[in-house]
Amino acid sequence: MQYINLNNKTILITGAAGFIGANLTLKLLSLYNNIIIIGIDNMNDYYDVSIKEWRLTQIEKRAKKQKASSWLFIKGSIADKELINQIFTQYKPNIVVNLAAQAGVRYSITSPDAYIESNLIGFYNILEACRNSYDNKYEEEGKADGTESSEDNKRYSGVEHLVYASSSSIYGCNKKIPYSVDDRTDNPVSLYAATKKSNELFAYAYSKLYNIPSTGLRFFTVYGPAGRPDMAYFGFTNKLRNNETIQIFNYGNCRRDFTYVDDIVEGITRVMGGAPERATGEDGLPVPPYAVYNIGNSSPENLLDFVTILQEELIRARVLPEDYDFEAHKELVPMQPGDVPVTYADTSALEQDYGFRPNTSLRDGLRKFAEWYKEFYKV
């Protein structure tokens, strides 16, 4: 593994107004006083845009406090090849974190075009831009006046590390649990899962062909404050507040490896600073600088237990009244197409290579969500 000092780096974060992208940006601005972060997001209306705007506001506030660092937001799509090439040409990112994607398993059944555009074409554009970043690679040159050049005058040498979001959904209906990065992932059960598997294959091919150091991260059911309203915990909360019935799939027998967003962001930050090395194998052939890791809580929760804790924390935060009749507002229903009965991460590889394992409890995470929800919606 090649250590990368993130100080003085230019970092491109796609999906920067998204749930994970915004939290990552906030963390990087807190950790480093001298970085440049370029964020891009198309701000689509897949879910409430006001949440994305709120996240950007939080980033702006944080950025103003970090005077030595800079933050620039660009509204646009990674599927716009010309725009992506322009960003790479103008800002010359050292680290790229691709979090832009059309998310959601069920939505991929009704709106497949969005997944092809963002998850395949968009990711291809990012890979091509990373590849082309090496075209102008050259040695440090002296200043125009002939004096010795300084650190500031080093020429751009291309992308040092591409980190991108994959998903636990690529494991499909694998019977073996916990899911290991060594398991086969050839049987996706949704288009969303298929696009994420394709991302891993694309990245591997580009790493092998062009020596792009790349790391894929398979996220497991990310949740937390200012998350996506289409996720179960958020959608359940909205419905319960509106006195509607919530549907619990697979009759409550689903188990999910819920992972708090701060743990996800901590994992990404650590991985950003340690890229797979360009190396030669024992057979004398080049080894692609490529890696994949799971990031999950390694503690799957039964869906019925999950909604019970959610209810308790919503009552504690006074989002719901103390006498709320929860039993009257839940319905057990069959499994939905594209869903899987269990997700369970084996994170031993991440722990071994980066010394990190997510550990936020479900109750702690849902408590923070409930408190944010009350404040954001002025309940």
Residue entry with tokens 């506030």 = 61
How many Å apart are CA 148 and CA 145, to the nearest integer? 9
- How far apart are alpha carbons 92 and 62 in whole angstroms? 23
User: Is 344 assigned a catalytic role?
Assistant: no
Rounded to the nearest 5 percent, the helix, strand and coil shares of the chain are 40, 15, 40
Cα–Cα distance measured from residue 10 to residue 95, given in angstroms and rounded to the nearest whole number:
7
Q: Which is catalytic among the residues 47, 192, 206, 290?
A: 192
Q: Strand 222-223 to strand 95-98: parallel, antiparallel, or no bridges (unpaired)?
A: unpaired
* Cβ neighbours for 64, distance < 8 A, ≥ 6 positions apart: none
List Cβ neighbours of 65 (8 Å cut-off, separation of 6 or more). none
Tell me, what amino acid is at 56?
A: L
Residue 371, H or E segment: helix 362-376
Strand partners, 218: 166, 294
User: For the chain, how long is the longest CA-to-CA vector?
Assistant: 79
**Sequence letter at residue 264:** I
Q: Is 124 left (phi over 0), alpha (psi -120 to 50) or beta?
A: alpha
Amino acid letter, 1: M
Question: Is the omega angle on the peptide bond into residue 178 within 30 degrees of 0, that is, cis?
Answer: yes
Q: From CA 103, how far away is CA 214, in angstroms rounded? A: 21
Helix, coil or strand: residue 329: helix
How far apart (Å, rounded) are the C-alpha atoms in residues 293 and 267? 10
List, by residue number, the catalytic residues. Answer: 192
